[in-house]
Structure formats: structure tokens, C-alpha cells
Structure 1
Amino acid sequence: MGAGNEMNLRYMYATLLFLVAGGLLPLLFLPRSDWGQLDAPLVMSLAVLVYSAAMLSYPVAANKERILDMTFWLFAYVFLGLVPLVQLAESRFPWPDTYGDGTLVTAQLMTLAGLLAYHAGTLLGKPSKASPTAPGNPAADFAKPGGTRRFLVVSGLAILISGALLVQSGGIHSLFLPRNALQNVYETKSQGLIADQLIKVPVFVCLIFGLTLWKRRLFRSALPKLTTLLLLALCLVVSNPISNARYWFGSVMLTLCLLFVPWRRIGRFGWTAGYLLLFIVVFPYTDLFRNNLDGDIQTAGISDIFVQKGDYDAFQMSLNAVEYVGANGTTHGKQLLGALLFWVPRSLWEAKPLSSGQLLGEASGYFYTNLSCPLWAEGYLNGGLAGVVLLFAVYGFVSRRLQSKYEESRRLSTMSIYRIIVPFLSAYQVFLLRGDLMNALAYMSSFLLFAYLFARRSGGGSLRKSLRGSRSRSPGRTFAADRAGSAAFSRYTLSDITKR
């Protein structure tokens, strides 16, 4: 297919996606009788929906991968655009409550302010074309001589730790109990959280590195391949959807898909359509085993699910945040500080804030307080609309920088740590945005820590040594010296990179 035909095809897909997401789906979900009586909250929900649909469609036409942006705008479209449209049209929310027009409009302004700030942050985070790759980063290339040996050592430790903690927690049988039945295995919640992360996260990190090295044909013997297969089997067992929350099982599966399913074979349009199906249809039914193993599926219309299930309470929690700030004022960053210092035990910090979801649930008088709290509500609780704008400007800036590092690594075919953490963050971002922030950061930080430590141990020393002896050489001679010193990279010649 010629370049012109391919471009025309991309524009056709982009137009189709925008028309379906920005026009057809609202028509399907919003009753026809409501179109003649659109009030300000409904119009603002439509604005959020159309804006998000446009931001989803543009990268399809521009042939941009940008997986972090993709999941951000997908979340905004579904949870802050389409779902609020249905909830406002039917005047029903997942948790029984009523709200005035002032609260509804303020929550929509909060949403739009966050989206615009994120968009601005991504524009500001765009790196200069002249910015060079930082060669001195010890985690820049983890596939160096000795990397396979280090992979085997670290993976062996991860398997031993996971196995020992599994035995302590009740063995393999405990992994196939309902999630709520596992809460009494450990004496305290902190002990359970630490053990849970040590069972799952190191194995998952090692699996990603092993599959990546295997895919790049850097394993020269059977042992690392067998180790990777063992990691895969163990990861599927300890991260199964029965005893694990949806955020973790979904992150594991989506990360593996983003890493190892060829992007161009599916395309941005296919990924976006698949995610929309996942969020709207699959997501509500993935908590079947929270309380028991019966898996009894009770079907309902999608519109009914939007207004009945707490899975779609992101907009309502934003409304509760508006009412909380109206009654008590902002927390002046106290909630954000508590989220960042989640690792400090309450025995040492008696005044440690509650998680924002629990805070809003108790303030609203709900009987159930293990609730979400979207990042927009977090920003509003901490600093009002100004807090939302600042938080999302920084969030967009950091996301764009990470995305640029990821794209650069793919373009140069280097084994950068960004090729590991960015796909994970793209998948996990849905749960980070849905909140609450304290719990999301607690689980995300363990993955980032283990990924960084693995990459640093696997290539830091060798990389620094190779750079120390090559600074005075020309680029061509430097590459030849590196190739001679590392047989693992013998097939990546300068001409290969130029052709890419």
C-alpha cells in the first residue's frame, strides 16, 4: 500500500472513530426525549465527551502510538464523559444521593479544567528535537554482557520469595479463594499489603524482562528460557482474577499485550476500539469473584450498569468532593501529603489522613467507604480548581516526557527501562486516574521500584565501563567498539538503525 493510500486510510479511521465516539454513542445512550431539554450540566458532559473523542481520534490520523495519552483520554471519555451523560439524563447515581445544579456545574468545570491542563502539560513536555539521548543513565540499557546471568539470579530470588510467602499465607489453595476471604490471613493490613506485593510484583517484573530479552533473541541457552516459562506460569497463578483485584489482573494482562502484541498489526484504531469495549462492556463483570466463586452473572443494560454499579462512581465522587470542599474548605495539600507518604505507618503518624475515597464516603454518610476518588477530585480536595490545574499540568508534562523516552527507545531499538515501565503505566493509569491516590500509589510504587532495581543491576556497571573508554571516539568507532564488546548487540548495526 502506498504512503498516500495509507494516510487516507488513517484519516478515514480517525473520522470514523470521532463520529462513533463523539456522535453515535451519545445518541445510543441518551434518550431521545432528553435532547430537547439539555441543561448546563448535560451540555458540559457533551463537551467533555466530544473533546475526549477528538483527542482519541487525532493520533489515529497522525499515526501516533502514544499509549499513555491513549488510556488517559479513554478514561476521560468513558468515566467522565459518557457515564455522567447517562447519570445526569436519568438523575440517578451509583450511590443514593442528590445534588444541586451548582454542584453539578462545578464538578464539570473541574473535569474540563483538568483535561485542558493535562493537554497543556503534554505540549509543554514535548522535548526539543535537538535534545540528545542521555548516555550516562545506568538504567538506559539493561541487556549488557552478564545480563542473562543477573536475570537468572534475580529471577531465582523472586521465585523463592514468592514461594516462601505463598506457603506462609496458606499455600496455592489460598490463591483461589475470593478476595474478601483473604483479608484475615495476616494480622494487620500493612503486613498483608507487603506480603501481597512481594508475592506478585518481583515475579511480574522478572517475567517482563525475561520475555523482552527472549523476544530480542538475547538468550543463548535453554536455562533462561525455562526460567522465563516458569515465571510466566507463576505470574498467571499468583495474579489470577479470582483472588486479585481487577486493577492488578487487568494491568498484568494489558501490559503483556502492549509489550508483545505488534502495535502496527492492530493499529491505534483497533487498540482504542478494544479499550472502549473493555471499559464499557467487560469491566463491570470482572468482579464476579469478589465475595464467592459462584460467578453468577446477572445481565443488565449498559445504561442501567452506569447508574447502578459503583464501578462507575468517578463523576459522583467528584460531586462529593465539591460538596466536601464547600462545607469544610480544601485540605491545603494534606490529602496529597498522606498519599505520597502512604508508607508511613499510622502508629508513627497518628494524624495521617484517611484515603480520599474513605474521607468522602464517611463525609457523605455512606455505609460502604472503600470507594474510588478520581484524580480530579484529589486535586480539588487539596487546592480547589487551582489544585486541579496544577496537578494535571504536572501530570501531563511528566506523561509526555515518559512517552518521548519510550518512543525514542523504540526508534533506536535500545533495551531501555522506559520500554518496560511505560506500557505498565499505560495499563495501570486507568486505576491511578480512578483512584483513590493513596492506594494507587502504594501498589504502583512497588512495580516501579523493582523495575528500576532490576534494570540498574542488570546493566549499570557494564554500561558505565563501556562509556568511559569511548568518549573520545567518533560515533562510528564507538558503535564498533561497543559491538565488539557485546555479542548480544551484534545484530544492531549503525546501518540497521539508520534504516529504521
Structure 2
Amino acid sequence: MITAASNKKIPHSSLLLLIALIAALTGLFLFVVGSSSGSAVSVNGAVMASFILNGVLALIMLIAEALRRPYSLVLMHWLFYSCFFVITPVSQYLSAFWCWSYPLSDDSLLTANALLFVWGVLFAFFSSSRLSLSRTGNPKENVETKLRMPESSCPPSINTGALLALSSLSLFLLIRLAGFESLFSRSDYSLGLDQTSSLIADKVLRGIPLFAFVLILKASQKKKCTFTVLASFLVLVIAAFPTGLARYNTAAIYGGIMLLLFPAMSKKKGVFAVLFLFAFLIVFPAMNAFRYANFSIETLFQSLIDSFGNIGSGFLTGDYDSYSMFVRAIEYVEAFGSTTGWQLITAILFFIPRSIWPSKGLGSGWTIAAAQGQDFKNVSCPLPGEGMINFGVIGVVAFAIVFGIICRKIDEAYWSKSSPWDWPAWRLFYPFMCFFFFFMLRGDLLSSFAYLIGYGVVYFVLVFVFLRRVKRSPDILASKKQFHKHFDISNQR
């Protein structure tokens, strides 16, 4: 792994991919500007300059992080920042498009861009590994992928048959509640429960097939456990069919699996960033067609063609409202004041039903839309907006610092060989966490935090139940070595 202090040369393949990434982002920005140049929109030079400043910051930090690690939470942040806080709002601004028909003034845009620049600088500083290097020395980055298939046969501590049975039971319950056909289209999907119960049941019944497949995959030898692996994957695909999920859910589930299965994505710097950008621009918008339509192959191919042909104007929809909702969060605080942490408390205690907690708050996006007289309220609220609505400008600063530190700690815990979190099972969840963090950046925090914790709890409960038979030694070091011998995925060659 290449760090700032490393003298290793960057592979030519990684350089080419990073050059392609720079060209793609720069070309996309110029394409957006060029496609809107003929419109009769009065463009404020200061606003455009502030967008360009934020874009330069995002591009520099994105390339710097892509040079350090193939994928990470920090990389996900800068991918989001580039797409949702620079390219998307520039397209909307030059086209005079206002998400949810809520116009934004140039003064509001300048204020928002200034705060986003502060956010970016603070996040860049506090997510930098230099902060930890100054105290703990330069940790050896794990050059080899941690996500290789073990070569050993199925460890006796993993009951793959029981995992497959539990996964099948989850699918059966999901079909009983929602119906088989509704699993393939979001427009028909409903568990018929109250909001909180549906949220929990959905995460449990879809999380079990997902992580059962992951554990079976990583604990099984290809030749001896092929049937179990294929059967568990089939159960997963039916329970979590891509067109039957929200796009962020599809990305988290199948993006994490791809990082587990394909070594090139977890070893070659730049591969993940380029593929993610392609998925963001083409694949994810195409999946949105099944939010209102039933699944069919014809619809799938047509939606992919439409997404490819509408890259320039594809940002002119309410799906890309993160930037505008940040601006509106600022205006909300100016009009009503901050909630002094109430939205944050609501997000942390998401699992408490409203029947028990009648005064439980609503999502930040919903709260802002309702206060500003909007009829449709199922909107986003990006992470900087969550900081704003909770504590004002101080909240934006505090959230940037806190999340920068959290991302740095988690990334280093995963990529460093000397990490105190050197637990193989934890490493399997990290790729999924990267995608859930992207969803958290878009917001709002109430729903995204519920998804992250819901899936996380399901995974670690499965780990606790199905890995607890590993023999424990009184010697802690010996016990750790034994655990790694059975289930380690970090040192396979």
C-alpha cells in the first residue's frame, strides 16, 4: 500500500486508472457546463468560482486518497463530495433547476459553498493519517488483499448447513409478508407492518441471507462447498433482488460482495473509484425505473440506455437534492433555529417505536420540507445538513471533525496490520460499511443510521452464534492464532 512516506513506485495500471478518473470527473464537469451554456440563466461569477474552488479541493483529496488505498470510508466521502456538492449543483444551477420547486438565491449558494469548503478542509485534515502517524509511527499497510478466498476446507466451527437453513427461513418469511412478485419491484413491496417494525423486519430478513452467504463463502472451500455457496447466493438474490431495493441498498449489498469476490477491486488503486463513478452515473439511475414500475428485462435495458444518454440532464431530478437540502437546512436554522441535537437523538434512538415514544422526531429532510411548506417530504438531508440543523454552523464544524476522525480510525483499523481491531470477522463487514457510509452522507441520518446499525447487528449476531464453537485457549495469544487459522482472510496468498 502506498503512503505519503512510502518510496514505492505507483503501478502504471493504477496511474492510468487515476488519470482516467481525473479525465472523467473533469470531462463531466465541462460537459455539464457546456450543455447548459446556451440557457438564458444569469450566472453569478462568485457562485461559479466557489463551486470551482470546492471542486479543486474534492479532486485533489479524491486522487490523494485513491493513491493511498483501493477503497475506504474517506474515499467514499470524496466521491460523494465531488458528485453531490460540485457536479450535481453546478448542473442544476446552470439549468435553473430547483429541486422540489424551491428556488435558491445566489447569496444562499455562496453561504452554502463557503460552509462546504470549511467542511471539506476540516474533514481532509482530521481524516488524514498524518495525525495518527505523529503519535503511533507509520503502521505497515497491508499490501495484500484481506478478502481472498481461504484455501482450507470448511472449518468445523462454521455450520454452513445451519446458516443456509436460517437464510432460507428468512426468505420464506419475507415471501409470506410481502409476496414473491413484490420482491422484484419497489413499487409493490410492503411488509404490511408499522413503520418501525417494517424497518427492523426488512433489515433482519434481508440481512440474514446476505451475511449467511458472506460467512458461507469465506468459510468454505470452492470444490467441497460449491452447492452450499450457490444455494445461499440464490436465496440472497431472491431476498434482495437489485431492482426490488432502493439504490443505496443495492449498492451496499452487491458492492460489498463485489469487493469480497474480485481481488482487482481490493488491490488495484483507482479501479474501485472508476467503477463506482460509472455505477453512479449509469447503473444507479437505471435502477430507479423500478421504483414505480414492475420488473422486466425490456425495462431494465431501456433504463440503462436512457441513463447513458441523459448524463448531462440526469442530475435534474429530485434524486439529486442533497446540495439543495443543505442550502435549505441553512435557511431552516436561520428561520427557526437549530434543534439543539434533537434530530441526532432521534437518529440514535431510531429503534424505539412511536407507540412508546409519541414525541419521537421525524427525519431531518422531512422536518425541513414540512417547515418550508413542501407537500412531498420524503427528501434527503446530507451529513453537513444534519450538523447544521442540529447545532447550526458549530454543528457543521463539529460533524466534519468527528466524522473525519471516525473515518480515519476505522480505515486504519482495517488497512493496518498492527491494528488492535485485528479480527477477521470485522474485516468482512468493512466493505459493506463503505457503501452504507455513502448513503449516510446523502442522508437523512435517521434512515441511513438505521440501515447501518440494522445490518451491522444482524451480521455480528450471526458471527457470535455461528463462530462461537472455535475452541478458546487460556492463552489469549494462542486463542487469537487459532481463530485466525480457522477463519483468517487477511494473510491468504
* TM category, shorter: 0.7 to 0.9
How much has 1:488 moved relative to structure 2? Answer: 4.0
Matched, 1:43 2:49: yes
Matched, 1:111 2:120: no
- Give the stretch that moved more between structures: 347-356 or 410-419: 410-419
Distance in 2 between residues matched to 1:383 and 1:452, nearest whole Å: 33
Matched, 1:390 2:398: yes
Instruction: Name the structure 2 match of 1:302.
Output: 311
Distance in 1 between residues matched to 2:29 and 2:484, nearest whole Å: 56
How much has 1:94 moved relative to structure 2? Answer: 2.9
Distance in 1 between residues matched to 2:281 and 2:206, nearest whole Å: 28
Distance in 1 between residues matched to 2:420 and 2:102, nearest whole Å: 53
Which residue of the other structure, out of 176, 188, 201, is the alignment partner of 1:181? 188
Distance in 1 between residues matched to 2:367 and 2:113, nearest whole Å: 21
Gap regions ≥5 residues in structure 2: 1-5, 141-149
- Contact 2:70-2:271 at 8 Å conserved across structures: no
From the two aligned structures, give the one with the greater helix fraction. Answer: 1
Q: Which amino acid aligns with 1:179?
A: R
Which residue of the other structure, out of 445, 451, 457, is the alignment partner of 2:453? 445
How much has 1:363 moved relative to structure 2? Answer: 2.1
Identity of aligned residues (%): 23
- Contact 1:154-1:206 at 8 Å conserved across structures: no
The within-5 A match list for 1:73-112 is 73-112=78-117
How much has 1:46 moved relative to structure 2? Answer: 1.2
Cα deviation 1:150-171 (Å, max 9, x = unaligned): 4436514532541441343154
> Could you say what secondary structure the match of 2:111 adopts?
helix
Q: Which amino acid aligns with 2:16?
A: Y
Instruction: Name the structure 2 match of 1:69.
Output: 74
- Contact 1:126-1:404 at 8 Å conserved across structures: no
- Give the stretch that moved more between structures: 429-438 or 151-160: 151-160
Instruction: Name the structure 2 match of 1:16.
Output: 19
Matched, 1:366 2:374: yes
The within-5 A match list for 1:17-416 is 17=20, 19-20=22-23, 23-31=26-34, 39-60=45-66, 62-123=67-128, 126=132, 128-129=135-136, 148-152=156-160, 155-156=163-164, 158-176=166-184, 178-183=185-190, 185-214=191-220, 217=221, 222=224, 224-263=225-264, 267-293=268-294, 295=299, 297=303, 301-307=310-316, 309-408=317-416, 416=424
Alpha carbons of 1:15 and 1:404: their partners in 2 closer, same or farther (altered >3 Å)?
Answer: closer
How much has 1:482 moved relative to structure 2? Answer: 4.8
Gap regions ≥5 residues in structure 1: 134-142, 472-477
Q: Which amino acid aligns with 1:87?
A: Q
Cα deviation 1:127-163 (Å, max 9, x = unaligned): 6546999xxxxxxxxx999954444365145325414
Cα deviation 1:329-371 (Å, max 9, x = unaligned): 1111011111111111111212111111211222232221111
Distance in 2 between residues matched to 1:116 and 1:49, nearest whole Å: 12
> Could you say what secondary structure the match of 2:243 adopts?
coil
Cα deviation 1:81-120 (Å, max 9, x = unaligned): 1111111222212321212222111211222222222222
How much has 1:23 moved relative to structure 2? Answer: 3.8
Cα deviation 1:273-331 (Å, max 9, x = unaligned): 22112212322221111122263645663232212x11111111111111111110111
- Contact 1:59-1:268 at 8 Å conserved across structures: no
Distance in 2 between residues matched to 1:26 and 1:146, nearest whole Å: 49
Distance in 1 between residues matched to 2:94 and 2:440, nearest whole Å: 27
Alpha carbons of 1:412 and 1:170: their partners in 2 closer, same or farther (altered >3 Å)?
Answer: closer
- Give the stretch that moved more between structures: 111-120 or 350-359: 111-120
Distance in 1 between residues matched to 2:489 and 2:376, nearest whole Å: 57
Q: Which amino acid aligns with 2:29?
A: P
How much has 1:456 moved relative to structure 2? Answer: 3.1
Instruction: Name the structure 2 match of 1:140.
Output: none
- Contact 1:330-1:383 at 8 Å conserved across structures: yes
Distance in 2 between residues matched to 1:186 and 1:363, nearest whole Å: 29
* TM-score when normalising by structure 2: 0.83
- Contact 1:56-1:73 at 8 Å conserved across structures: yes
* TM-score when normalising by structure 1: 0.82
- Contact 1:201-1:447 at 8 Å conserved across structures: yes
Cα deviation 1:432-488 (Å, max 9, x = unaligned): 11111111111111211122223334445746x33x2366xxxxxx69x956x9874
Distance in 2 between residues matched to 1:15 and 1:343, nearest whole Å: 41
Alpha carbons of 1:195 and 1:37: their partners in 2 closer, same or farther (altered >3 Å)?
Answer: closer
> Could you say what secondary structure the match of 2:379 adopts?
coil
Alpha carbons of 1:490 and 1:429: their partners in 2 closer, same or farther (altered >3 Å)?
Answer: closer
- Contact 1:67-1:426 at 8 Å conserved across structures: yes
Distance in 2 between residues matched to 1:400 and 1:4, nearest whole Å: 22
Q: Which amino acid aligns with 2:28?
A: L
How much has 1:239 moved relative to structure 2? Answer: 0.7
Distance in 2 between residues matched to 1:165 and 1:470, nearest whole Å: 40
Distance in 1 between residues matched to 2:325 and 2:434, nearest whole Å: 23
Distance in 2 between residues matched to 1:460 and 1:335, nearest whole Å: 37
Distance in 1 between residues matched to 2:17 and 2:57, nearest whole Å: 14
- Contact 2:382-2:443 at 8 Å conserved across structures: yes
Distance in 2 between residues matched to 1:23 and 1:490, nearest whole Å: 41
How many residue pairs get aligned? The number is 465
- Give the stretch that moved more between structures: 242-251 or 369-378: 242-251
- Give the stretch that moved more between structures: 45-54 or 30-39: 30-39
> Could you say what secondary structure the match of 1:7 adopts?
coil
How much has 1:238 moved relative to structure 2? Answer: 0.9
Q: Which amino acid aligns with 1:335?
A: Q
- Contact 1:41-1:88 at 8 Å conserved across structures: no
- Contact 1:161-1:198 at 8 Å conserved across structures: no
Larger Rg: 1
